[in-house]
A and B are shown apart, each in its own frame.
Chain A
Amino acid sequence: MYRKTLLGLLLVALSLLAFAPVQAQDNVLNVAWPYQVPPTGHFNTFASGGIALGQYQDLHEPPLAVLMWATGDYQGMVAEEFGWDDDGNYVISIVDGNTWSDGSAMTADDLMATFNIFRLRGDAVWANMSGIEKVDDSTVKFHMESPSSLAERIILTTNLRPASVFGDIADRASMMSPGDDGWDALLQELTEFRPEMPVSGGPYTIQPDTISEANLMLALNPGGFAGDIQHYDMVRMWNGETEVVTPLVANQELHYITHGIPPTTEEDFANRGIDIVRSGMNNGPGLYVNHAVYPLNMVEVRQAIAYAVDRIQNGVVSLGESGVAVEYMTGMSDGLSEAWLSDDVLDSLNTYDHDLMKAEELLMGVGFSRNDAGHWVDDNGDTLSFELTFPQEYADWSAAAENATAQLNDFGFDISARGVQFQQHPQDIYSSNFEMAIRNWGLGDPIPGRSYLQAYNRYNGQGEVAGEGGGAGMNFDNNVDFSGGMVNVFDLSNMSSQGVDKDAQAELVSQLAVSYNELLPAIPLWERYTNNALNRNFIMVPDAGDSIFANFGGGADNWMTTLILTGVTAPADM
C-alpha cells in the first residue's frame, strides 16, 4: 500500500519535470495582452469578442499614422501622405506595394471598407463627416463638415482592415442609410460575422492554430506594412491580466507588459533586473463632489479641500513612483498644461500646495468654525460630515480614498470612506447617488479639450447615456463665471477640439484651464504614470529619456508598437 502511494507521488513529481525550463527563442518577441479563445474570441475585430489584442492590433491591422507626443506631429504609417485640402476635406494616400496576408493588395478600397463599416456601427468619426470618396487606387477623400484636429486624430489613428474580408458588408452599408430597411439586419450581420482566418496587413499575422489560453503566435508577414524591416520572426502574445502575467515576467519568459502592477511587484521586478518604464498617462484619480450637497457646492470649500490634501503623499501612498502629484490643477495633465498654456497663464495658476493654514482661512472666511471636538461646522451649525465612495477593487484608487479621508479628517472634516463594487460605482455617480467620490480626471488623449469630458460630460449629466434615466451626475453647472468672464465650459471643451488653428485652440484651452483652476469642479489628486515592465536583457529599445516614451502606451500611439512598426525594436543580443 505504501509502495503504491509513494509510487504515485513520485510519478506526480516526475511529471512536473516534464515542463523542464526552456530558454526563450531568440527571435521571438514576448509581450502580453488578454484575449478570449475561440469560439468566444474570433477574427472580426469590428465586433465584440474579436481578437484585436489592444495596442498590438497595430501589428496585424496597422494604423494610418502615429502621433509623436513629444513634438505633436503625426508620423505616417500606412498613410504616406495626409492632410487637409483647400476645401476643408481630409485626404489620405496610403503606401503602395503592401499586401495583406491573403495576398490581396493594400489599396484605397481597404480605407473605404474600414470607414464604411465605422458608419454602419455609428462610430464617432462620422459625427463630423458627410461622406468618403475614392480618388484613386491609393487615395481617399473624407468629406468633412468642417476641419477639426479631433476628426484628424480619429481618422489617422484608425487601424486599417482588409476589403477582401469586410468589403461585401461595407459596400452594402455604403448604399444604405441609418433607419433604412435592412440597416439593423446588416449591423447584426456584421456583429455575427466570423471570418475563417485572420487577414493581416501589418508586419505580423495571427496563427489560428497556435491560439491557446496561454498564448498565441503572430508570424512574420513579409508583404505587410513594415514586414521587411522586422528583427523578429515571431511575436508570442501571452494571454491574461496582471495577476496572470506577473509570474511570467518574474520567470523571464515574458519581456514586456503594459499591465499596471502594484509597487511591491515593481520592487520585485527591479530586483530581478527588470526595467520599469514610466510615462504620464494624462489622467488619474480625482476627488469628485456632488454639487447638490451643501456646502460642497461652495468653491471655497473645494479649494480648502485642495489645500488640505497633500497630493504628493497621496500619490506615493497609492501608486509609488507612478502616482505623481498634479501640480497645475487645470483639469488636464501637467504635460498638456505646459504644452498648451503660455508661461503667463502657467504663472497665474494656483497650484494649491499643501497648506492647512490657507485651508483654515478659506473655511473661516465663509463663516465656518470648529466645534469643541475640533470638527468643522458650517454656517448652519452642521458638521462637515460626508461619505466618500470609491471602487473597492481598484487598489490604487482605494488607497487614494483612504489617504485623502485620513488627511481631511485630521484637518477636521468628518468623512467616512466606503468601497463600492467597481461596476456599481460609476452608476452611482451618473445617478448622483454620492456625496464625495474618487473617479478619474483627464483622458489619455493629446487633445487638451478632451480631458474635460470627464468632469463636464461623463460625470455630469451622463445618466441618460449610461442608462440611468437622466441622472445629473455631479450636478455641476457648466455655465461658469470666472475671472475671464462667463462661459459654458462643456461647449468650450468641444470647441477647443474643432478647427486646425492651434493658436485659437490654445486660447480656448487657456480659458478652460484657468476656470477649472479657479473653480475646481473636481479636485485632481495625482497623475497616473505607466509602470511598464521591460526586460532589457531580451529586448533592445531606446534608453529611458528618449522622446518616444512620451507616447504613453494606452490605445493609439503606443511607443512599443511604434518602435516595432519602424523596425527599431530588436532582440537585445543583436
Chain B
Amino acid sequence: MASHSSDLENARVNSPNPVKYVSDFFDRYPIHKNYYLRIFLQALVTIWAVMSFTFVLVRLMPGNPVDVLIEQILTQEGISYQEAYDRVAASFNIDPDASMLDQYVDYVGDLLRLDLGTSITSPGTRVIDEIARFLPWTIFAVGCGFLISFVLGIVLGMTMAYYRDSVLDHSLSLVSSFFTGVPNYIWGLLIIIGPGITWKWFNVGAARGTYDPGLTPGFNAEFIASAIEHALLPIFTYVLATLGSWMLSMKSSTASVLNDDYVNVAEARGLKDRRIITSYVGRNAMLPLFAQLSISIGFVLGSGVVIEEIFVYWGFGHYLFQAITVRDYTGIQGSVLILSSTFVFSNLLADLTYGLLDPRVRITGEK
C-alpha cells in the first residue's frame, strides 16, 4: 500500500500538469455535465443491462435447445427418448456443463469483438448472418407501413379537426376508432380469409414469401418489383392497424392548436388558409406526433412477429419467434440486443432532435 501511494505521489510531482484526484480531472474537464455525453452513456448502460438481463432470462426459460428438439423429434417420429436424446445431443454446439458465468464472460468477450456468436440450433451459422438475412425485410415492410400510416394519419387527422362535428369528422372518427381497436393479426387473418380465400382476389400461396422463388436479390427491376409485390399485404395490414391511432392523435393535437391565439391572429391578419394550415397549425400540431413517431421506430422491429407468421413474410419478428421457440440462446440474445439498441437509440434520437424542432425545449450550455 505504502509503495503504491508513494508511486502516485511521485507521478503527481513528476507530471508537468499533475491531476491530483479523479475529481480534479472532472473539475478541469467537466464532461460529466455534458448533456449529450450523459444521455449517450445512459443509453449504453441501458443496453448492457438489457443484454445481461436477457442472457440470464433465456437460461431460466423452461426447456433448453436439446429438450426442445428432443420433444419435437418425439412428437414427429416414432423413436424412443434415448434415441432422440443421442441424436440431438451430438448435433448441438453447446457445452451443457459450462457455468453461466463462463458463458457470460465468453458472450461479452465476443460482443466486444462485434461477434454475436453462432446459432446453437444450426451450428456453424453466424447469428449476425441470420439477422442480416431477415432484418431488412422487416425494416422495409414495417417501415413503409409506418410511413404511409403516419402521413395518411396526419392528413386525415387534420381534416377531421378542421371539419369538427361534421359528418366527415364523425365518420372518420368512427373508422379510426375501429381501426385502432382491431389488432394487427386480426386484420391479417381477415385479409387472408376474405379477399384471399373467400373472394379469391389474390392467390394466397403466391403472395407468401419476401420475393418470388428463383430471383436473385439485387438492384434489378424484376427483384425490386417482386419484393414490393410480396410486401404489399403486410404493409397494408400495418397501415390498417396503425392508421387509426395517428388520425386520432393528429386530430386531438390539431384541435388544441386551432384554439391557440396565434392561429386566431393569423386568421385575423387575413392569411390564406393554406398558409395557416401548413405553417401555423400543421407544424405545431405535429410536434407531439414527431416524438411519438421517434419512439415508434423502436417498435418497428418488434411489432411484426404475428403478421410475418400470418403472411409467411419472414423477417426479424419471425426470426426472433423461431429462436425463442427452439431456445436458440445466441439467436435470442442477438435479436434482443438489436431490438433493445433500436429502442434505446430511437429514444435518444428523439431526445436529441426534439430540441431542434421545438425551440421551447431546447437545452443550451452545460445543462
Task: Assess the B66–A15 pair: CB atoms within 8 A.
Answer: no
Task: Assess the A22–B124 pair: CB atoms within 8 A.
Answer: no
Contacting residues of chain B (223-260) with chain A, CB-CB under 8 angstroms? 229, 232-233, 236
Bound CA span A445–B85, Å: 17
Specify which of A123, A244, A462, A554 is in contact with B309 (CB 8 Å cutoff): A244
Specify which of B66, B87, B125 is in contact with A49 (CB 8 Å cutoff): B125
Residues on the B chain within 8 Å of A250, using CB: 197
Known contacts A15-B232, A42-B125, A247-B197; A443/B208 CB under 8 A: no
Indicate if A188 sits at the interface (CB-CB under 8 A): yes
Contacting residues of chain B (198-242) with chain A, CB-CB under 8 angstroms? 200-214, 229, 232-233, 236
Specify which of B86, B122, B152 is in contact with A5 (CB 8 Å cutoff): B152
B interface bracket (residues with beta carbon within 8 Å of A): 35 or more
Residue of A46, A48, A122, A240 contacting most chain B CB atoms (<10 Å): A48
Known contacts A212-B211, A244-B312, A555-B77; A427/B202 CB under 8 A: no
Expressed in whole angstroms, the minimum distance between the Cβ of B235 and any Cβ of chain A is 8
Among A82-90, A131-139, A372-380, A450-458, the stretch in contact with B:
A450-458
Task: Assess the A554–B77 pair: CB atoms within 8 A.
Answer: yes
Indicate if A102 sits at the interface (CB-CB under 8 A): no
Task: Assess the A421–B229 pair: CB atoms within 8 A.
Answer: no
Bound CA span A243–B87, Å: 28
Residues on the B chain within 8 Å of A22, using CB: 203, 206
Task: Assess the A49–B121 pair: CB atoms within 8 A.
Answer: yes
Task: Assess the B312–A465 pair: CB atoms within 8 A.
Answer: no
Bound CA span A40–B133, Å: 9
Task: Assess the A48–B121 pair: CB atoms within 8 A.
Answer: yes
Indicate if B81 sits at the interface (CB-CB under 8 A): yes
Task: Assess the B69–A48 pair: CB atoms within 8 A.
Answer: yes
Expressed in whole angstroms, the minimum distance between the Cβ of A354 and any Cβ of chain B is 29
Indicate if A41 sits at the interface (CB-CB under 8 A): yes
Expressed in whole angstroms, the minimum distance between the Cβ of A284 and any Cβ of chain B is 13
Indicate if A18 sits at the interface (CB-CB under 8 A): yes
Bound CA span A296–B93, Å: 41
Specify which of A40, A121, A213, A450 is in contact with B119 (CB 8 Å cutoff): A40
Bound CA span A337–B31, Å: 81
Task: Assess the A21–B312 pair: CB atoms within 8 A.
Answer: no
Q: Bits for B66-90, please: 1 = Cβ < 8 Å to A, else 0.
A: 1111010000111111110111111
**Nearest A residue (CB) for B210:** A213
Specify which of A49, A421, A554 is in contact with B78 (CB 8 Å cutoff): A554
Expressed in whole angstroms, the minimum distance between the Cβ of A451 and any Cβ of chain B is 10
Indicate if B143 sits at the interface (CB-CB under 8 A): no
Task: Assess the A124–B232 pair: CB atoms within 8 A.
Answer: no
Indicate if A36 sits at the interface (CB-CB under 8 A): yes
Bound CA span A423–B72, Å: 10
Task: Assess the A423–B203 pair: CB atoms within 8 A.
Answer: no
Task: Assess the B78–A217 pair: CB atoms within 8 A.
Answer: no
Contacting residues of chain A (176-232) with chain B, CB-CB under 8 angstroms? 187-188, 191-194, 209-217
Instruction: Report 25 cross-chain contacts, Cβ distance below 8 Å, ordered by A residue.
Output: A19-B229, A21-B203, A38-B133, A40-B122, A40-B125, A48-B91, A48-B123, A49-B122, A121-B91, A191-B123, A193-B124, A212-B213, A213-B318, A250-B197, A251-B197, A251-B200, A423-B62, A423-B63, A423-B67, A423-B327, A453-B81, A465-B82, A466-B67, A554-B76, A555-B76
Given contact pairs A49-B123, A212-B213, enumerate 13 new A-B contacts (beta carbons under 8 Å): A19-B206, A37-B133, A39-B126, A39-B130, A39-B133, A40-B125, A48-B121, A213-B209, A444-B77, A450-B78, A453-B81, A466-B81, A555-B76
Residues of B within 8 A of A (CB): 61-64, 66-69, 71, 76-83, 85-93, 96, 119, 121-126, 129-130, 133, 148, 152, 155-156, 159, 192-193, 195-197, 200-214, 229, 232-233, 236, 309, 312-314, 318, 322, 327
Residues of A within 8 A of B (CB): 1, 5, 8, 12, 15-22, 36-42, 46-49, 54, 120-124, 187-188, 191-194, 209-217, 238-240, 243-244, 247-248, 250-251, 253-254, 282-283, 421-424, 426-427, 443-445, 450, 453-454, 457-458, 462, 465-467, 554-556
